[in-house]
């Protein structure tokens, strides 16, 4: 928005040079945030970058829409830094981004408790996974104790280490753990049988296997299990245990733990495939609510609340992340197709992403509190909310949403003479933005229309 000459600063001149400085500083801040996330460190920002972003000259050089876009950029950068620092990060009283502090362990306790309360519901995949792991661990230990093998903890340990909330990851890790255990135990047992190492040599081989495990850890779970299994065989050999007793036990109990993990998904599943339409409907509702909240600010600049806009933006971001994670998980689930194809899901995702981008662009140019209300904005916001509720219901019921209410508002703006009671149309910026919102929603319907036709 800042760089676009149609909405931001001119192509040449002092404003353009200043915007280049601001965007360069913003890039440095994003680099610092990425480094903090990657390395797990606090965010370190150069004072010069903060000076460019926070200097009072912004208020003098940039005016109108560019000024609002610059303010919005600072808000978004603050959001990025908050995410990079982690939930619960405190900001210094001065508001200087450079002095943000990580939360202490005690300050994270309320955050953890809030997250736990949020997941204490039957529909939560995290709650279902916690129940699944608890039951499987207890059952694995009871089975390991009942079998006349010893080392009963190997079965529940295997199950807990391979289980993940997603079925595909649990399946792949179970196969990798059993296969890696089989190969590692076989190789190590062959070495023990061939060379009969004493305690010192066995200790050296165990240390070597541990070193290989850390060196090859990022190559895959199966490779790591090969090293761990060989390490255990050499460690037990160093202690004088007979390989013919420990090796069969480890292989059999590893197989038992992996099978328990797989059976748990058949008895207590948490498939995402049947929930895809619900996830998509929730994203549609939050995305439309965000756009409608922005329009409310245009309709009532003096009485609007910026916190409402921010809350709506964060809500739609969360809904988008939930949808993307669910879609990624559903691709690898052994569940029958439930009426939304991969192509339709991708097209619908692009349409809702475009809807959010347009709403964010309109938010970047919100009028000041002293500005006059924009005619027609409240009407469009109301139509958008009603249409979104009906559209979300249609998505859940495998129907194609209809956006006639919102399209009718735009028609009255373009042809006011056909409705004498209609309010005067808004300015070209809001009119173009509203048209792009409705176009994104219609693209969303077209994406689902193909999937619905194939289903029927």
Compute how many other C-beta atoms are within 10 angstroms of the C-beta atom of residue 217.
12
CA gap 131, 37 in Å, rounded: 31
- On whether the CB atoms of residues 284 and 396 are closer than 8 A, the answer is no
pLDDT value of residue 308: 87
Q: Is 366 left (phi over 0), alpha (psi -120 to 50) or beta?
A: beta
CA gap 445, 344 in Å, rounded: 10
pLDDT value of residue 98: 45
Distance of CA 381 to the CA centre of its chain: 28
Residues 6+ apart with CB under 8 A from 161: 173, 177
pLDDT value of residue 14: 81
Classify 251 as helix, strand or coil.
helix
Q: Which residue ranges make up each domain of the chain?
A: 14-97, 125-267, 273-455
- On whether the CB atoms of residues 177 and 259 are closer than 8 A, the answer is no
Q: E strand or H helix at 321, and its extent?
A: helix 306-330
Rg (CA), the chain: 29
- Extract the residue ranges of the chain whose pLDDT is less than 50: 88-89, 91-99, 456
- On whether the CB atoms of residues 271 and 335 are closer than 8 A, the answer is yes
pLDDT value of residue 62: 76
Annotate 12-68 with DSSP letters as a single string: SSHHHHHHHHHHHHHHHHHHHHHHHHHHT------HHHHHHHH-THHHHH--SHHHH
pLDDT value of residue 422: 59
- On whether the CB atoms of residues 261 and 174 are closer than 8 A, the answer is yes
Q: What is the DSSP letter of 335?
A: -
Classify 360 as helix, strand or coil.
helix
CA gap 318, 324 in Å, rounded: 10
- On whether the CB atoms of residues 270 and 123 are closer than 8 A, the answer is no
Q: CATH second-level architecture of 273-455?
A: Up-down Bundle (1.20)
pLDDT value of residue 94: 44
Residue 219: exposed, middle, or buried by beta-carbon count in 10 A (0-12, 13-18, 19+)?
exposed
- On whether the CB atoms of residues 80 and 36 are closer than 8 A, the answer is no
pLDDT value of residue 173: 85
Cα distances (Å, whole numbers) of residue 228 to 144, 209, 215, 232: 20, 7, 12, 6
Q: What sign does the CA torsion over 399, 405, 410, 411 have?
A: positive
pLDDT value of residue 279: 92
pTM above 0.85, yes or no: no
Total residue count of the chain as it appears in this document: 456
């Amino acid at each position: 928005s800042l760089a676009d000459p149609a909405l931001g600063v001119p192509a040449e001149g002092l404003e353009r040079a200043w915007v280049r400085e601001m965007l360069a500083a913003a890039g440095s801040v994003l680099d610092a945030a990425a480094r903090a996330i990657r390395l797990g460190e606090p965010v370190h920002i150069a004072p010069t970058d903060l000076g460019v972003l926070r200097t009072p000259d912004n208020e003098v050089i940039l005016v109108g829409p560019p000024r609002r876009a610059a303010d919005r950029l600072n808000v978004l950068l603050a959001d990025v830094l908050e995410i990079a620092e982690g939930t619960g990060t405190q900001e210094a009283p001065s508001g200087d981004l450079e002095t943000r502090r990580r939360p202490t362990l005690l300050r994270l306790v309320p955050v953890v408790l809030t997250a736990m309360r949020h997941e204490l519901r039957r529909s939560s995949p995290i709650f279902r996974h916690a129940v699944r792991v608890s039951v499987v661990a207890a059952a694995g230990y009871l089975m390991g104790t009942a079998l006349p093998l010893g080392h009963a903890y190997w079965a529940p340990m295997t199950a807990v280490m391979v289980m993940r909330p997603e079925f595909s990851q649990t399946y792949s890790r179970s196969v990798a753990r059993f296969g890696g255990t089989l190969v590692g135990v076989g190789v190590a047992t062959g070495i023990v049988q061939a060379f009969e190492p004493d305690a010192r040599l066995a200790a050296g081989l165990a240390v070597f296997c541990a070193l290989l495990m850390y060196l090859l850890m990022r190559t895959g779970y199966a490779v790591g299990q090969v090293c761990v299994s060989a390490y255990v065989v050499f460690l037990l050999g160093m202690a004088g245990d007979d390989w013919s007793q420990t090796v069969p036990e480890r292989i059999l109990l590893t197989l038992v733990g992996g099978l328990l993990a797989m059976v748990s998904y058949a008895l207590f599943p948490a498939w995402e495939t049947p929930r895809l339409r619900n996830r998509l409907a929730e994203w549609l509702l939050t995305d439309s609510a965000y756009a409608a909240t922005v329009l409310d600010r245009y309709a009532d600049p003096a009485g609007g609340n910026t916190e409402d806009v921010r809350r709506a933006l964060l809500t739609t971001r969360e809904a988008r992340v939930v949808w993307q994670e669910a879609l990624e998980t559903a691709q690898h689930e052994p569940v029958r197709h439930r009426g939304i194809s991969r192509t339709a899901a991708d097209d619908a995702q692009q349409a809702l992403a475009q809807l959010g981008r347009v709403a964010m662009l309109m938010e970047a140019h919100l009028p000041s509190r002293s500005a006059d209300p924009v005619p027609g904005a409240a009407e469009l916001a109301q139509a958008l909310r009603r249409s979104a509720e009906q559209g979300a219901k249609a998505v859940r019921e495998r129907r194609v949403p209809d956006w006639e209410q919102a399209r009718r508002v735009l028609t009255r703006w373009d042809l006011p003479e056909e409705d004498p009671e209609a309010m005067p149309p808004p300015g070209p910026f809001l009119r173009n933005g509203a048209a792009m919102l409705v176009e994104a929603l219609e693209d969303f319907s077209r994406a689902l229309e193909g999937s619905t036709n194939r289903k029927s």
